[in-house]
Chains A and B, each alone.
Chain A
Amino acid sequence: MSRIQQRFEKLKDENRAAFVSFVMGGDPNPTASLKLLKSLPAAGVDVIEIGMPFTDPMADGPSIQVAGQRALASGQTMAKTLKLVTDFRKDDAETPVVLMGYYNPIFSYGVDAFLKAANDAGVDGLIVVDLPPEEDAELCIPAREAGLDFIRLATPTTDEKRLEKVLTNTSGFVYYVSVNGITGVKSADADAVDSAVARIKAKTDLPVVVGFGVKTPEQAAEIAKQADGVVVGSAIVDIIAGKLDKKGGAKVGLVKNVSTFAKSLADAVHTARDA
C-alpha cells in the first residue's frame, strides 16, 4: 500500500479529514526550505505538496508566482527539489510527499530520468497542472507504471461526462479545484464545494481533496466536514513572504510562524467533524 493510501485509510478510521499543505521547493532558499518541510509533520500536516518552481506558472496567483521566483532566484533546480525530498526522507518515512508543478521542467529533465529520480528520492505522487487526460501518454501513464500516483485536478468546469475521463487514470486522490481561477485569489463557496465533492465521490472510491482559495482555519474546517482533505498553499506561502529580509533571506522566526499557522489549520481540519 502506498504512503498516500495508508495515510488516507488511517484518517478515515479516525473520521478525520487530511490537512494538505503546499510549499514551494527552495523557497526562500534551499536551507530554509528543508527546515520548513521538516517542521510540517509535527504541526499536523498529513500530506506535503512541494512545488517545482517554473518561470511561467499559468495556473497560479501572485503568491505562488512570487514564491517560485524566489526559489529560482536562490538557484533552485529540479535536481535540488528532488534532493530536498531525499533529505526530508532521512527523518520521515511516513508522510506522503507530492510534487506539484508544470510539465516543461519535467520534460526537460527527461520523463524516464525524472520518474526514476523521484522514486529514488521518496516522492509518492505528482500533480502536473498542464497535463489534462488528453495528454496522459506524456507522463501520467509512465508515472503509474513507475509506481507513482498521478493526482488529477477536477474543476467546476469538469462536467459529468468529462469527470469520468478525468478519473480514469487518476490515483492517490482527486484534487478538486474549488473555484474557476488561479491559486489563492477567490474563495470557495462551501455549499457549492459540498455538492461538487458529493458528485465526485459518487463516481470514485478515491479520497477527494479540495484546494485553491482556502485561506483560514474556519474555511478549512467547513470544507473538512465533507471532503477527505483540504489543501492550503498561498496563505502559507504568504507567511513565508512576510518573514524575509531585504535580500530575500529568512528572518528569525520564519519556520516557527509557518508551523504555528500550519498547526492552526491542521487542528481546525482535524477537529471539524468532532462537534
Chain B
Amino acid sequence: MTVQEPNSFRLGPDEEGRFGQFGGRFVAETLMPLILDLEKAYEDAKRDKSFQREMENLWRYYVGRPSPLYFASRLTEKLGGAKIYLKRDELNHTGAHKINNVLGQILLARRMGKTRIIAETGAGQHGVATATVCAKFGLKCVVFMGETDVERQKPNVFRMKLLGAEIIPVTSGRGTLKDAMNEALRDWVTNVEDTFYCIGTVAGPHPYPAMVRDFQSIIGWETKSQMKHAEGRLPDTICACIGGGSNAMGLFHPFLDDADVKIIGVEAGGKGVDTKEHAASLTGGRPGVLHGNRTYLLQDDDGQIIDAHSISAGLDYPGIGPEHSWLKDAGRAEYVSVTDTEALEAFQLCCEMEGIIPALEPAHALAHVMKIAPDLPNDHLLVLNMCGRGDKDIFTVAEALGTEI
C-alpha cells in the first residue's frame, strides 16, 4: 500500500475522528450523545482564552511546569555518541506526565457541570493524577483498576485512597488495564448524567485521542523552545516509550512537520515480540476495533483480544492510540520494541549515571537510546521523554533482580 504524504501531519483527525483509517467512534448508542457533547464542550473550551489561562496557571503553580530539559552528561559520555537530553516530566506533581492531561479534562468536566469523575488505571499513575486533581477540586473520584494491577502497584493504590478516591478492583475478563477500561465504559453508560470519563491515554472514541494529545502537547512545545535555547536548533531525534502512547504523542506532535526531526516510539517487547508475552501492538499486532477506536491491536486470528505482557504495568495494554497507528503506516514515526530485560538494564544505568530513578516505562525508551546513541555523531541532539519517576516500581525491580527489600 502506498501512503500519499499529506501536506501536514498535524491536521488530524478529520470530522469523523479519523486519522486515515484509524480512530473513529465505535461506541454503544448510549454513549454517542455523551461523546458528541464532550466534543462540543472541548471545541468551545479550546477557543476560550480563560480556559487556556486557567490551565496554564495550574500547570505552572500546581504541577510545576515547565519541566526542565536536562543535559544528561554522564549518560552521554558513557554511551559515547549522541548528546542526550532528558525531558524531565517525572518532576511534575504526582511524578509523571499524566497530570498534564488530567488537569485539562477535569477543568472541562467542571465546565460541563459533571460532579463524578471515573478513570481507568494500569500502573496507577493516571489514577493517582486523577485522584489528585479531583481532591483539589472536591470532585468524587472512582478509579477502575485490574485486580492484578492492584496487587502489583500497592503504593499507588494507597496513594489514591489517601486522596479520597474509591478504587474498584476489576475482576472481569483477566483483571488488567483493558478490563479496567471496559469496566469504566460500563460505569459510564450506567451513570450518564453526572459522570465524566477521564481517559488516561490517547485512545478511546473521538474526541479523546485528539483531546488528550492536545493536553499532552505541552511536553513537545516546551522541548522545542528549550532545545532552541540550549543548542540554538531543533533536536535531531526524539524518543519516547509507548503503552497507549500519550507521553509520546505529547512529545511528538509539535515536531511532526519538522521533517528533519527523527521520531521514535518504543513499545514494550516483554519477553520478546516473537513470544506471546509482549505489549507491542504496532510491532506485533494488526488493525482492529477496541475501546471506541480502530487501531493496531494484539488479537488472535478470530479477532479476540490477547492480553499484553510487560514488566511495566503502564505499558501493559493490547492497543495503542490511533494516531500512532496512522503515523506508523504513514512512515512519519519509527516504532521499535525493547524487552523487559533491556528495560531493567536501562533502569539501573539511569540510576547509576544520572541519579535519576526512572519509571520502568521511560526505561524502555532509554534502552533503545542505549542501542542507537553510540553510533550517532557527537553533535546529534537526542531527546528522551523521562515521563515518570520510578518510586512506584522499586518493588517490581527488586523482585526482578532477586533482591529482598
Contacts and interface: CB of A to CB of B under 8 A. Distances in A.
Interface stretch (B29-37, B60-68, B371-379): B29-37
A17 to B, nearest CB: 22
A19 to B, nearest CB: 23
A157 B302 CA distance: 32
A104 interface: yes
Contact of B30 (A72, A105, A155): A155
A132 B288 contact: no
B291 A58 contact: yes
Interface residues on A, range: 35 or more
A131 B27 CA distance: 6
A10 to B, nearest CB: 29
A107 B288 contact: yes
A215 to B, nearest CB: 17
Contacts of B291: 56, 58
A155 B289 contact: no
A186 B178 CA distance: 24
A130 B27 contact: yes
A275 B189 CA distance: 36
A158 B302 CA distance: 32
Contacts of B189: 59, 180-182
A91 to B, nearest CB: 27
Given A180-B192, A182-B186, A166 B303 contact: no
B303 A132 contact: no
A54 B289 CA distance: 12
Contacts of A249: none
Contacts of B179: 56
B182 A58 contact: yes
Contact of A56 (B16, B25, B178): B178
Contacts of A59: 28, 30, 186, 189
B290 A108 contact: no
B272 interface: no
B220 to A, nearest CB: 30
Given A155-B30, A185-B190, A55 B16 contact: no
B292 interface: yes
Interface string A181-208: 1100110000000000000000000000
Contacts of B173: 55-56, 65, 69
Q: Is the interface of A mostly helix, strand, loop or mixed?
A: loop
B182 A56 contact: yes
B33 A162 contact: yes
Contact of A135 (B26, B178, B192, B288): B26
Contacts, number: 116
Given A103-B289, A185-B190, A155 B29 contact: yes
Interface string B156-178: 00000000000000001100001
A130 B26 contact: yes
A177 B33 CA distance: 15
A55 B289 CA distance: 12
Interface residues on B, range: 35 or more
Interface in A40-66: 54-59, 61-62, 65
B251 to A, nearest CB: 29
A262 B165 CA distance: 43
A56 to B, nearest CB: 5
A260 B165 CA distance: 46
A62 B173 CA distance: 10
Contacts of B299: 104, 108
Given A54-B304, A107-B303, A132 B32 contact: yes
B29 A107 contact: no
Contacts of A77: 302
Interface string A148-191: 00001111111100100010000000000100111001100000
A162 B32 contact: yes
Nearest to B26: A130
A105 B26 contact: no
Contacts of A58: 28, 182, 185-186, 291
Given A180-B189, A181-B190, A108 B33 contact: no
B29 A154 contact: yes
Contact of A132 (B25, B185, B304): B25
Contacts of A54: 303-304
B24 interface: yes
A108 B301 CA distance: 7
A104 B185 contact: no
A244 B303 CA distance: 27
Contacts of B290: 56, 104
A159 B294 CA distance: 27
Contact of B29 (A78, A158, A185): A158
B33 A106 contact: no
B330 interface: no
Nearest to A78: B302
Contacts of B190: 180-182, 185-186
Interface string A86-108: 00000000000000001111111
Interface of B: 16, 24-34, 172-173, 178-179, 182, 185-186, 189-192, 288-292, 294, 297, 299, 301-305
